[in-house]
Amino acid sequence: MNITAYTNNKINTLNEVFNSLTPNTKTAYIKAITDFYNFSGLAINTINQTTIKNITDYIDFLKNKYSNATVNLRINALKSFYKKLSVLRITRNIFDDIKAIGIKTNYQTEKAITRVLTKTEIKKLVTYLENNINYYSNKRNLVLIKLLANTGLRISEALNIQLQDIKNDNGTYTVKINGKGHKERTIFISQEIINLINEIRAGQGFIFITGSNRQLTETEFYIQLKRAGKKALNRHITPHIFRHSFATNLIKATGNFKGVSKYLGHSSTKITLDLYDHNCLSQDDIIYNAI
């Protein structure tokens, strides 16, 4: 979807509109906007003709097809797009009009903090993989699950870690993560997980790879985790559930809401629990909470 002709070179492509976003978010936003224009029948040279009805019809379509979380993501993509166009004086921000007349554009989702695994459930899943360790993928997935459960990393962040990224400072292992919004943070990794990583990988390159030596994808892990979750726990689980579980357990253990928010790389404490406490977490806080 190229918008060069209409914007007089203020923006060349949608890629430039969302240049500050992470690759995954950018891809999702571009797809959302493209889908909106396909649905509404608007052409790129008629951006300034977008009506409130175009938006509300699209929202109704989304609500009948997707979860509230997906609806919110699609709407947020459009909000960001029209806000950018408004700043560049390409067109008005249609969402200002929508807000002015009180039309709802954000929908309640289940609180992420309630979608968790208990420590007992995580240990049960780990035990299942340990008992089926004859497959390389199970051994690798065991290490990945332990890393996710004990660090609160996003799956995309974990899969992008390379062996040379891990630093050892007198037995304290850390890795710098460039998370959402290009926010950098430091993650502690326990000696136990370092030992497990050393069992599956050596040298340099991505830690989590396939049998054909290429980087493991989120989709591949999701499918394998879904299968393991069904067999071990008889429930549907996703990679992100370990992040929620980590945050829940760490908050219970430390009462340190602001510290947990900072450690997870959240842009706002409200995303964690809308409460404030201390400013940082110690290595002992993180390692003590290990599964």
Range of the domain at 46: 4-100
Under a CB-based contact definition with an 8 Å cutoff, are residues 221 and 144 in contact?
yes
Confidence at residue 259, expressed as pLDDT on a 0 to 100 scale: 64
- Fill in the DSSP letter of residue 180: G
Confidence at residue 10, expressed as pLDDT on a 0 to 100 scale: 46
Confidence at residue 215, expressed as pLDDT on a 0 to 100 scale: 93
Stated as kind and residue range, the H or E segment containing 136 is helix 136-151
Residue 105 falls inside a structural domain: no
Confidence at residue 7, expressed as pLDDT on a 0 to 100 scale: 45
Number of C-beta neighbours around residue 189 at 10 A:
22
Kindly list the strands in the beta sheet with 172-178, ordered across the sheet, starting from the edge strand earlier in the chain. Answer: 167-169, 172-178, 184-189
Supply φ then ψ for residue 205, to 5 degrees.
105, 180
Beta bridge partners of 164: none
Residue 108 falls inside a structural domain: no
CATH number at residue 142: 1.10.443.10
Confidence at residue 132, expressed as pLDDT on a 0 to 100 scale: 85
Under a CB-based contact definition with an 8 Å cutoff, are residues 8 and 90 in contact?
no
Predicted TM-score (pTM) of the model is 0.57
Number of compact structural domains in the chain: 2
- SS3 labels along 186-238: EEEECHHHHHHHHHHCCCCCECCECCCCCECCHHHHHHHHHHHHHHHHCCCCC
Say whether both 150 and 197 belong to one domain.
yes
Confidence at residue 253, expressed as pLDDT on a 0 to 100 scale: 66
Q: What angle do CA 70, 267, 247 make, to 5 degrees?
A: 80
Local mean pLDDT, 10-residue blocks, the chain (291 residues): 44 64 79 89 79 91 84 89 85 89 76 67 92 85 93 90 94 85 82 94 91 91 92 90 80 65 55 37 46 59
Residue 271 falls inside a structural domain: yes
User: Locate tokens 């950098």: which residue?
Assistant: 184
Say whether both 29 and 93 belong to one domain.
yes
Distance CA 83, CA 80 (A): 5
Under a CB-based contact definition with an 8 Å cutoff, are residues 123 and 78 in contact?
no
Confidence at residue 230, expressed as pLDDT on a 0 to 100 scale: 93
